[in-house]
Amino acid sequence: MRTIVTWYQTGGPYMIPLLAVGVAGLLIVADRFAHLVLRTKINSRPFIERVISLVRAGKVDEALKLCAEHQSALPDLGLVILRSRSENERELLKVAEAATLTMVPALKRRLAWLPVLATIAILLGILGGVANLHDALTQLAQSSSDARGQVLLAIAYALRPVGAGMLTAIPLFAGHAFLLHESQNIVGQLEEFSARLVNALIDRPDVRLGHR
């Protein structure tokens, strides 16, 4: 840990933009984590089954109340479909599709910036390494002291921003993969819930995905 801190403290002028990129990326990860994992996700399977069972029992008002008690993507979708009060399959499907389309962008908002920031961090690290090596070797060329030791120090100095850039990129790539996976799971749940809820409202047999 001390070595990493030393990299940032003595890595040259490119460490400041590298640190800014890292902070920006971590803020996006924190924001998306709070939205996707803490606010958007619920215990989806019991919720879906409960709403479907209420609708099939003709207790639409109770299903509406259950959806209104939660604040996340699945209950919001349920509220939109149930409040339409329609029994026409085509109309229900249009309502479900429109509601899903409005929710999906919010789930994936700003996620595309994470791999971009991670790539920028790596490129800044490489650029900083080249600049540091150039400056160190230029100073060495003007000095007559221990050439071999100075070359090694120059190389070590040049590698600090490269290492810091990679260290910044790793959590950003990992965070992007995790958050993208979570958003795709939620989108899949929205699609399943809307299809099964429409089937329940028009009294069509229920098909539970993954079950016989």
- pLDDT at position 27: 92
Residues recorded for the chain:
212
- pLDDT at position 211: 45
Q: Determine the Cα–Cα distance for residues 119 and 4; give it in Å rounded to an integer.
A: 20
- For residue 77, the tally of other CB atoms under 10 A from its CB is 23
Which residues of the chain register pLDDT less than 70? 1-9, 38-41, 140-148, 207-212
The domain segmentation of the chain, as residue ranges, is: 13-201
- pLDDT at position 41: 64
- pLDDT at position 210: 46
- pLDDT at position 52: 92
Q: What is the CA radius of gyration of the chain?
A: 27
Q: Determine the Cα–Cα distance for residues 186 and 50; give it in Å rounded to an integer.
A: 18
- pLDDT at position 50: 92
Report residue 206: phi and psi, to 5°.
-80, 140
For residues 41 and 181, the answer to whether their CB atoms sit within 8 Å is no
pTM strictly above 0.85: no
**Residue 189 exposure: Cα atoms within 13 Å on the Cβ side:** 25
- pLDDT at position 212: 39
